[in-house]
Amino acid sequence: MKKTDSAIFSKKKALIGIASILTILFSLLYASLGTYFYNKTYDFMVKTVGGKIHTPHEDVVLLLIDQTSIIWGEELQLGRWPWPRNIYSDIITYINEVNPPKAIFFDIMLSARDTSDMSNDTLLAETIAWNQNVFHNVFFSDNDELQSGMKMPEDVAQHYSIEIKNATAELFSGDNYNEVELPLPCLRADVDCNTRQSDEIKEKPTAMGISIVTTVFPDPDGIYRRSKPVSKYGDKYYPSMALSAILAYQNLPNQIQYTDNNTLIVGDYNIPLGSEGNYLINYHADERIQNYSMSWLLDSAIDYYGGSTNEIKLPPGSFKDKIVIIGVSAPAGQDLKNTPVSQNTPGPEIQANMISNILQGNHIIRSSGANAFITSLILMLITVFIVVYSSNPLVKIASNIVIYSVYGLVTALIFHKTNYLMHTFFGLTTGIIATTGSYMFLSVTEGAERRRYSKILSSMIDPTIVNEALNDLEALKKGGEKRITAFFSDVASFSTISEKLTSGELAALLNEYLSAMTGILKNNHGTLDKYIGDAIVGIFGAPVTYKETAINACRASIQMHQELKLLHEKWIRDHSYCEEARSMQFRIGLNTGIAKVGFMGTNELASYTMMGDTVNLAARLESAGKDYGVNTLISQYTYKEVKKEMVTRLLDKVRVKGKEKPVSIYELIGEQGAVPQETLDFVALYEEGFNLYQNRQWLRAAKTFTRAKKMTNNTDKACALLIARCSYYHKRTPPPAWDGVFTRTHK
């Protein structure tokens, strides 16, 4: 049976309905949580998968004041943390002793005075001015809470700001800084910082450059993922540590270029920017930035200047042409940050990762929000299509598991090979929502249908197998061709009975009779097709498919006749109804074969039924039973499947009305082992006579049928019918082409 237009339309409606609802839901989800999912994807990819470059740039080095260094400083009587400024002067001097680095960055805010000895500030200022490769941190603020309340001095702004060619007015327009906190020793000629002993360095700026610490900031969840290479203060631009490092690494002036594709060009290096000028840091998770404990350097300096013959851990020149970042990793420094790779990442390491990214071109390429949304919609449509159109629950589940597993693996592989970061977690989350939502939608819509069909089936088949019939609702709805055994029964002379009963008695009789017979039908896995007055139409083998349809139909027929005998006894005992009703009989016709089965009717009123030649022959057999005087007639097709389990009698070969192909018909007598021997002898004698009849031995056949008839006290109607036919053919011999088939001229 072909899928109906209504079934197709129903699936299309479900697909459109689910897709529309999910599209709206995804839009709201992305608008509210798109950034959250993107951040979580970034965290997972950076920490677990790793980008295309796994080893940090070798020219980026961290010199960290760790817990060991602080303890070491106390042992050398440097005092408790923070250390006096003169120690930094010694550190800078030692690092620059031989083959100095490209740049030394202090990722420490030196804004307060060194109260232990004011001369320490002057000494550090002169050391920085002399070496000319040291960078200081500067803090911008957009509030009025700083004690200094200081604005950017004009000479500092002029000297340390950077020029950005092709910069648009919108570039970093979100920056609204209005205060600045400068480090000490000062970046300008100040009363506290111009007492320089050497005329040679009086005119030099204190530091080679500055870096703005406010360019590194956490997201709302407290995780540091982004940094801004440039900050805007007033109408001037100022570099972050990363940008200053890239300039110093190439010995470039403070001049960079901005392109239309939102990229900063710094000499040979490009810095792609995201929204609001942010840069997404590609942290090295497996192999961290090369770092050294400050205690090593101080130990090495003492040994070197003291003329020790011991092996020096960090000899002068160890940082030749490198970028050295001095910072704090000890908890006392309060500069431990929460990053995707660790909850205790030293602040300087964040800057170092960004510098390493730029030097290696190891940038994360961000997929757009439109890309994420379109990808999710495509995955959603595939998911919904599978859930709606697939009839196999395992296929639905397995397909979606495979699709989203492949999606997750592919996006991870893409990031690992290309640094292209897709919205993986949003896609996977929407996949879960799409799958769940599709099932929920179908459970609501199909649930109503299941209840509707369940209600219909519950009156047709044994309730214990209703759920089995509903396992594949779509297949049940659209129907199809199945091998079944069709069942037809009808009460003999029911018109006579109905005329002698009142309407109430007639209704009671039918209810009692039909209830008993229908119960037996269902108990033998039969399906009630319909009632036609006193007639019962049943299906064995649909909607639930099984092999032994013929056996079950035959057993049901035998049990029905046995049940009728019990009803006779009850009605006689209770004096129920009329005499004709108390002795009523019914006939059954069974035929096995292929038939069209399914729900037929309207959306409001439908029934599960059967159609086709198989069904028509069963109806003809029920009617033919009257001519042969038997209760149950089965076709040769049913007989073939039950001959080992059932006792039957080959009655005749007939050509039913409307059909050219002949069929052998059998009386169903009972189950093997439950039939008396005299009945078996009678069957054998009758079939012997029928064999003679088929071979045109009319007189011998008639005599055999007569002997068989006597075994039933001359009550067998089939014997009388065949005796009369033998007499007819004896007088009017059929033509040579006669095939032993009797053609019925009525239904």
Element (H, E) at 191: none
What is the total residue count of the chain?
747
pLDDT at 655: 87
Q: Check the CA dihedral 686-691-694-696 and report its sign.
A: negative
Element (H, E) at 647: strand 646-655
Q: Three-class SS of residue 443?
A: helix
pLDDT at 595: 94
Chain segment 601-626, per-residue pLDDT in tens: 665 556 778 999 999 999 999 999 99
Distance of CA 369 to the CA centre of its chain: 21
H-state helical runs in 112-160: 119-131, 154-160
Q: What angle do CA 329, 334, 337 make, to 5 degrees?
A: 70
E strands, 49-102, are 60-65
297 CB neighbour count, 10 Å cutoff:
23
Chain segment 530-575, per-residue pLDDT in tens: 889 899 999 999 888 888 999 999 999 999 999 999 999 999 999 9
Per the listing, tokens 């009123």 go with 605
B/e letters for 600-609, b = 16+ CB within 10 Å, e = fewer, are eeeeeeeebb
**633 vs 626: CA distance, rounded Å:** 10
Beta bridge partners of 586: 491
Q: Check the CA dihedral 623-626-627-628 and report its sign.
A: positive
The pTM assigned to this predicted structure is: 0.63
Contacts of 117 (CB under 8 A, 6+ apart): 84, 86
**273 vs 226: CA distance, rounded Å:** 10
Beta bridge partners of 572: none
* Residue spans of the chain under pLDDT 50: 1-9, 188-202, 456-457, 460-462, 464-470
pLDDT at 514: 92
Distance of CA 176 to the CA centre of its chain: 45
Both structure tokens of 537: 């139409």
Interaxial angle between packed helices 5-44 and 369-389, expressed in degrees from 0 to 180 and rounded to the nearest 10: 140
pLDDT at 292: 94
pLDDT at 418: 93
Q: Classify residue 508 by burial, with Cβ atoms within 10 Å: 0-12, 13-18, 19+.
A: middle
pLDDT at 473: 53
In three-state form (DSSP H/G/I as H, E/B as E, the rest C), the secondary structure along 651-664 is: EEEEECCCCCCCEE
**423 vs 411: CA distance, rounded Å:** 8
Domain 479-674 bears CATH identifier 2.40.110.10:
no
pLDDT at 503: 92
Asked whether 65 and 333 are in contact (CB, 8 A), the reply is: yes
Asked whether 282 and 418 are in contact (CB, 8 A), the reply is: no
pLDDT at 1: 40
pLDDT at 451: 56
Q: What is the dihedral of CA 320, 325, 330, 332, to 10 degrees?
A: 140
3-state helix vs strand vs coil in the chain, percent to 5 = 45, 20, 35
Q: What angle do CA 280, 284, 290 make, to 5 degrees?
A: 125
Segments of the chain assigned to CATH 3.30.70.1230: 479-674
Distance of CA 532 to the CA centre of its chain: 49
Q: Classify residue 46 by burial, with Cβ atoms within 10 Å: 0-12, 13-18, 19+.
A: buried
**625 vs 319: CA distance, rounded Å:** 110
Both structure tokens of 351: 């800057």
For strand 535-540 and strand 480-491, is the pairing parallel, antiparallel, or unpaired? Answer: antiparallel
DSSP-derived secondary structure for 416-478 = HHH-EE--HHHHHHHHHHHHHHHHHHHHHHHHHHHHHHHHHHHTTS-GGGHHHHTTTHHHHHH
Asked whether 227 and 247 are in contact (CB, 8 A), the reply is: no
For strand 60-65 and strand 291-293, is the pairing parallel, antiparallel, or unpaired? Answer: parallel
